[in-house]
Amino acid sequence: MGWLEPLLLTIITASTPLLLAAIGELVAERSGVLNLGVEGMMIMGAVCAFAVAVQTDNGFLGVIAGALAGAGLSLIFAVLTVSMATNQVATGLALTLFGIGVSGVIGDGYVGVDRSPLPRLDVPGLTDLPFIGPVLFGQDALVYLSFALVIGVTWFLRRSRAGLTLRAVGDNHHSAHSLGLPVVRARYLAILFGGACAGLGGAYLSLSYTPFWVEEMTAGRGWIALALVVFASWIPWRAIVGAYLFGTITILQFHAQGAGIGIPSQLMSSLPYLATILVLVIISYERTRARANTPLCLGIPFVADR
């Protein structure tokens, strides 16, 4: 059973960026906004986090920079889609292309630069416990933050007045506006939160998962995070299940290659994306269950005088 502990540790590191990005996008979509720019925000978070961490020799500042980079890019999306009512799908795709391009320019001088990963939690007497210690008490701060965000978002959407306002805006923005609810402000804040979480996911990639910078290192994780929101049926705790399911698939394909299983490496590398397609196909056959939690105004621009 000595193989189980390192396997679980690698699954956690592979799943954390997906969970961070997915929980942020879930909040944005609950407000009725479909942001397809998650990939671009993640890659900007990754490069800015790594650049700041290298320049300041401080991983904590790098994490903050990653969150701010993702939020900054999402602000562009918010201005275009909320204030100017542009098409959300086209704007999100453009945001991804913009983020990938700008990240390549910013990160050009950091290719090949190496730095130590984010420090891991060390609880005396607990971290040294066999198996349980490293898995539960030996992770870095972003792993625990991802779970804290899920708990916080669950409480926010179900129990808080602001969360109920957000859900009302996502379900019927015209009725919410008629009742005096701040539709525009709610969507701006939800988009900024989603961008910050995507930036944190990118920061985790460059500062912890693989503590170096390489162009397009997100490798489609932003698109998987988008699929995870649908997989979770817009319910926060289900995002954990989805993120760790896809993280497990990602890691198992590496272990399968290392074990010398006679399957082409290209096919093994495509497994996470094939799983994404499969999940979306299965969900499409359960439309009743999916529609029960789908924000009714998802992807529809809000214009107050209409």
pLDDT in tens, 131-182: 788 888 889 999 999 999 999 999 999 999 999 999 999 999 999 999 999 9
Q: Which two tokens stand for residue 118?
A: 């984010």
Average pLDDT, the chain: 88
Instruction: Name which of 29, 45, 79 is nearest 194 in CA terms.
Output: 29
Instruction: Name which of 161, 158, 160 is nearest 234 in CA terms.
Output: 158
Task: Kindly tell me if the per-residue pLDDT of 259 is higher than 70.
Answer: no
pLDDT in tens, 69-106: 999 999 999 999 999 999 999 999 999 999 999 999 99
pLDDT in tens, 41-75: 999 999 999 999 999 999 999 999 999 999 999 99
Q: What is the pLDDT of residue 1?
A: 52
The Cα–Cα gap between 243 and 203 comes to 17
DSSP 3-24: THHHHHHHHHHHHHHHHHHHHH
Residue 227's SS3 state is helix
DSSP 169-195: HHH-HHHHHHTT--HHHHHHHHHHHHH
Q: Nearest 5°: CA angle at 149, between 143 and 155?
A: 150
Strand partners, 212: 114
* H-helix segments, 31-160: 38-56, 59-78, 88-106, 132-137, 141-159
User: What letter does residue 132 receive in the DSSP assignment?
Assistant: H
For the chain, the structural domain boundaries read 8-219
Q: Which long-range contacts (CB under 8 A, 24 or more apart) does 62-68 make?
A: 62/203, 62/207, 63/118, 63/141, 63/142, 63/200, 63/203, 63/207, 65/203, 66/199, 66/200, 66/202, 66/203, 66/206, 66/207, 67/196, 67/197, 67/199, 67/200, 67/203, 68/196, 68/199
Contacts of 62 (CB under 8 A, 6+ apart): 49, 50, 51, 52, 53, 54, 56, 203, 207
Instruction: Name which of 121, 107, 135 is nearest 212 in CA terms.
Output: 107
pLDDT in tens, 176-209: 999 999 999 999 999 999 999 999 999 999 999 9
Q: What is the pLDDT of residue 101?
A: 94
Task: Kindly tell me if the per-residue pLDDT of 267 is higher than 70.
Answer: no
Radius of gyration, alpha carbons of the chain: 19
User: What is the per-residue burial (b if ≥16 Cβ within 10 Å, else e) of 90-123?
Assistant: ebbebbbebbbebbeebbeebeeeebebbeeeee
